[in-house]
Amino acid sequence: MNIFEILRNFIAKMLQILLNKKKISNALNVYVKCSTGSTLSLELDPNWDIKNVKEIIAPQLGFSSPDEVKIIFAGKELNDAITLNECDLGQKTILHAVKSRRQPLKRPGNPTLTEDEAEAEETYRPLSESLLEGETDTLPNDPDDSELRKTPQKAQFFVYCSQCSKLCAGKLRVRCGTCRGGAFTVHRDPECWDDVLKPQKVSGHCESQHIPCVANISEGDPPFAEFYFKCAEHPSQGEEDYAVALNLVKVNSREVPCLACTETTSPVLVFPCEAGHVTCLDCFRDFCQSRLGERQFITTQNLGYTLSCPVGCAESFIEETHHFRLLPRNLYDRYQRFATEEFVLQQGGVLCPQPGCGMGLLVEEDCRRVQCQNGCGYVFCRQCLQGYHLGECILDSAARMSENFQQFSVDPNRAAEAKWDEATKTTIQISTKPCPKCRTATERDGGCMHMVCTRAGCGFEWCWVCQIAWSTECMGAHWFG
């Protein structure tokens, strides 16, 4: 075939593609990113194969022949016979096009096998298949059970998508761990969650010309794959668009009943214990809510504020705390607040006792007078959590009742009728400050910051801002505010 025939066939193919473009239904919009830095936006028919794509992009990227183009997606080179449907692409997916470098591959029993021949032998297999192939049950082969046989649910990943603000189906993607480029092929498929979630588990080959990658390859040290997930329920927002994998949420392909309600639903959450106890997502939310109400979450050094299997199994802590994003927004906000408070308390800090504040404060161990910084500004005693005062702390009524419980019995029914108005108590606590000497609640309704206690026999002069004895420093700094 001479050059004129090649050119004529190419032009005919291009015209055919352009004419068929108007007939494309359910067009797939993808981006093709070349190693030279240019990016193409294409509308493709999902039924087209990769060879058609190469024929379209080769002249636009400056390649003399489609055979010179190699298309990489999700850590695999796509061979010519694969259709776009088989690749499970989403809208605005990014494909990477690089110049092909055909070299012989060394294979056992066939040392001269070329990459072209290897492509002809192998079929495209997504990375997710090797990771999820253990998620579905093997159905029985007994002919007597043929009526009971069901088509198993297709295994899939689940992620928490911050853009969708919910649990979504996810897709596994891979890039170079050194340059974070997508033109990267893995040397082997991931075989377990550790391969995906932990760094430097799977090596590969990076097609980019970035200096760190070239240096690693020249030294015989191949770069490692960096796996990440995308939400499958909205169009891709680029290579930096990713979602958090919820590896404990699975399709209930084995039809295991929930340990709490005994219902069989899907998806479910499988705790990371040896037994793999299963709970439906509704019961998981109820479990978390009850533990939050009792403040029974556990703070661990490496995993943070988390829960373990409700059955009490050892080594069953939930490592990825984004699983608690399955909670309603108000409960997740409470979870975050409790986690922050527990962290502050474990670090030797204190929480502001002012109603409506609760700011976490890290203070010196021997510091008794604490002022709420970047919060409400309340000044309080670290020991009794009351307004700052001089002298020894005095227990409040609740603490005194607890201390003298053996000498004083309370009828619960009468106690319910004898409650002080909680709203009034809160208002008094917020709008007043105690005299540092006698603890009399004092309200400031204007004037300067120089306060004089009006309680008979006290008359202590103190500063409203500092809650200490009035001094010349207070007079110079904030006498009038």
Q: Which residues are catalytic?
A: 448
* DSSP state letters, 250-269: E--TT-PPPTTT----SSEE
The rounded distance, in Å, linking the Cα atoms of 71 and 52 is: 12
What is the 3 state secondary structure string of 105-141? CCECCECCCEHHHHHHHCCCCCHHHHHHCCCCCCCCC
The rounded distance, in Å, linking the Cα atoms of 346 and 189 is: 42
Going by the DSSP 8-state scheme, the letter that residue 255 receives in this structure is -
The number of angstroms, rounded, from the C-alpha of 351 to the middle of its chain's C-alpha atoms is 27
The rounded distance, in Å, linking the Cα atoms of 88 and 108 is: 32
Tally the residues of the chain: 481
φ, ψ for residue 98, nearest 5 deg: -130, 165
Give the DSSP H/E element, type plus range, for residue 474.
Answer: helix 472-478
φ, ψ for residue 379, nearest 5 deg: -105, 125
Contacts with 196 (C-beta within 8 Å, 6 or more apart), sequence order: 131, 172, 190, 227, 245
Contacts with 58 (C-beta within 8 Å, 6 or more apart), sequence order: 64, 65, 66, 68, 69
Count CB-CB contacts under 10 A for residue 290: 11
